[in-house]
Amino acid sequence: MSGSAREVFHVMAKPTGAVCNLDCEYCFFLSKEQLYPDSEFRMSTEVHETYLQQLFAAHPADAEVNVSYQGGEPTLMGLEFFARSVELAARYAGPRQTVLHTIQTNGTLLDDEWGAFLAEHRFLVGLSIDGPREMHDAYRVDKGGKPTFDRVLRGWEVLTRHGVEWNALTTVNAANADHGLAVYRFLRDELGAGFIQFIPIVERMTPEMLPMADAGWGVRAKDRPLYRQSGSAVTHRSVTGAQYGRFLIDVFEEWARHDVSDVFVQMFDTALAHWLGMDQVGLCVHARTCGSALALEHNGDLYSCDHYVEPDYLLGNIAAGRMMLDLVDSPAQQAFGTAKFDTLPQYCLECDVRFACNGGCPKDRFATTPDGEPGLHHLCAGYKAFFGHVDASMRFMADRLRAGQDATALRDWYAAADAQRGRNDPCTCGSGRKFKKCHGAQANPAAPTTKT
Ligand code: SF4
Ligand code: SF4
């Protein structure tokens, strides 16, 4: 971790632990119920208060403090829990601290009462949706294996009806990875998403767990083997490096032509920050070091990262007398954060786009470099393709921003180049299709629709 922990850290609290009302096939977190076999998985009022008290105490006097909930499914706690969170935040925030309430949800339990509450307290809501119906329902199913698209759409309607600020959290997986443009146009045009995070699904498995995982588990989450970051096999639901690169390029080619400055795609913002030479970038996976995004379990256990809620990465318990800031600043957490850079294989250190990629998240570094060194990221091919593809555009935007101008000029740059392009020329995204049938088309007629 770089810089002072007090300035940069962020905690995602899991008030229901891993408990969720859905059973998404790719969810690595559901099996974490096994870490707490006798628990009822509800954050107590004592732990809740300790969390808020310590969170504000651990931040600088003039900081914006993010009070963040995710899961499992945090809305299972009910509205009262979040009303209390707002009260506790008001009680413990310093006079110059500001509060940002955030919640990540599958959206299926939201109703008008929720909508009014989230709007009143200006929550920023992360809504999990994987694209149009067929793609979303491929893996995002409930406990009975039933599709969830309609229920998520009802949740989205609640948010929009009440004017709640929301972000789309969209996984990139085997079912939607070949349809980047359709996914993006759906989020932008049908849902009106203004901020989008793409999350690649890499379900890392040991050979022993793979057959069960590939078969969709077939048992309840609590009976699955505990998911750990080990093994070098991946499930059929996982995205490949080549697919992920194509997906991002597909989206970028649309965004660059039409949406620069209007739609924020976290990966593109992060890339631009790197091309501008900034230290703090949005996505931890592409930061030089990490360790500043911790996970708090329902009982007060603080872990190094949401992806490492495993016994070996338990830092301590804030309800058992450990101070959150001490744990965040602990040698173990510092080592966790700096290892991200220190363990890069030579292949990454010599890579042209290392400054922007930084080797990706350590959890997915189970591939081998061409010269046989372990520790390469599973998605390396995609990262190389994407960061290489956007280099000229990122340089263009970075130059404009350094000159005090607007990055939106990238749209005009693309338009001028497109004006010279034949409609039957190959598309700039590298799909092999004609430009007029790909990014040169105003809308994708093949894109599935949400209209029911
Ligand atoms: S381990 Fe991965 S997900 Fe966790 S903070 Fe580091 S880069 Fe981010
Ligand atoms: S693109 Fe590949 S080689 Fe380059 S830094 Fe990223 S993971 Fe390493």
Q: Give the pLDDT confidence of 150-161 residue by residue, as tens digits.
A: 999 999 999 999
The answer to whether residues 252 and 388 touch, using CB atoms and an 8 Å cutoff, is no
In angstroms, what is the span from residue 341 Cα to ligand 2's centroid? 12
- Percentage of the chain modeled with pLDDT above 90: 82
Give me the helix-helix angle, 45-57 and 79-92, nearest 10°. Answer: 40
Tell me, in angstroms, the distance from the centre of ligand 1 to residue 399's CA.
Answer: 30
Residue pLDDT, tens place only, 400-426: 999 999 999 999 999 999 999 999 999
Q: Which ligand is nearest to the CA of 362?
A: 1
CA of 379 to the centre of ligand 2 (A): 8
Ligand 2: does its nearest atom lie under 6 Å from the Cβ of 363?
Answer: no
Is 385's C-beta closer than 6 angstroms to any atom of ligand 2? no
What 3-state class would DSSP assign to 444?
A: coil
**pLDDT tens profile 358-390:** 999 999 999 999 999 999 999 999 999 999 999
Instruction: State the Cα–Cα distance between residues 232 and 395, nearest whole angstrom.
Output: 36
Q: Which of 316, 323, 288, 290 is nearest to 301 (CA)?
A: 316
CA of 445 to the centre of ligand 1 (A): 38
7 falls in which pLDDT band (50, 70, 90)? low
pLDDT at site 269? 97
Ligand 1 closest atom vs CA 291? 5
Check pocket membership of 384 for ligand 2, CB cut-off 6 A. yes
Q: How close is the Cα of 188 to the center of ligand 2, in Å?
A: 30
Q: Whose CA is nearest to atom 1 of ligand 2?
A: 384
Ligand 1 proximal residues by C-beta, below 6 Å = 284-285, 290, 293, 305, 307, 340, 361-363
Catalytic site residue from 178, 306, 326, 329: 306
Ligand 1, atom 6, residue with closest C-alpha: 290
Which residue's CA is the closest to the ligand 2 atom numbered 2?
Answer: 380
Chain segment 218-238, per-residue pLDDT in tens: 666 667 777 777 778 899 999
Tens digits of per-residue pLDDT, 33-84?
A: 788 888 899 999 999 999 999 999 999 999 999 999 998 899 999 999 999 9
Ligand 1 center to 288 CA (angstroms): 11
Quick one: average pLDDT of 95-112? 98
pLDDT at residue number 232: 82
Q: Are 435 and 424 in contact (CB under 8 A)?
A: yes
pLDDT at 308 over 60: yes
Which of 2, 202, 284 is the pocket-test mutation for ligand 1 (most atoms within 8 Å of CB)?
Answer: 284
Beta strand pairing status for 374-376 and 367-368? antiparallel
pLDDT band at 216 (very low <50, low <70, confident <90, very high): confident
- Distance in Å, CA 88 to ligand 1 centroid: 28
Residue 311 has a pLDDT of: 92
Q: Which residue has the higher pLDDT, 15 or 209?
A: 15
| Residue 27 C-alpha from the chain's centroid | 13
Q: Which ligand is closest in space to the CA of residue 388?
A: 2
Candidate from 313, 336, 340 with most ligand 1 atoms within 8 A of CB, to mutate: 340
Classify residue 307 by its DSSP letter: G
Is the confidence at residue 2, as pLDDT, over 60? no
pLDDT confidence of residue 219: 65
Tokens of 422: 């034949």
- pLDDT mean over 113-121: 98
Find tokens 């700096």 and name the residue. 338
For residue 362 and ligand 2, the question of a CB distance below 6 A is answered with: no
**Alpha-carbon distance 364 to 358, whole Å?**
13
Length reported for the chain:
452
1 has a pLDDT exceeding 60 = no
306 is catalytic: yes
- Residue 93 in this model has a pLDDT that exceeds 80: yes
Average pLDDT, the chain: 92
Per mean pLDDT, which of 18-27, 217-226, 338-347 is the most reliable? 338-347
Regarding the beta carbon of 351 and ligand 2, being less than 6 Å apart is answered yes
With both helix axes pointing from N to C terminus, report the angle between 380-389 and 391-402 in degrees, rounded to the nearest 10: 50
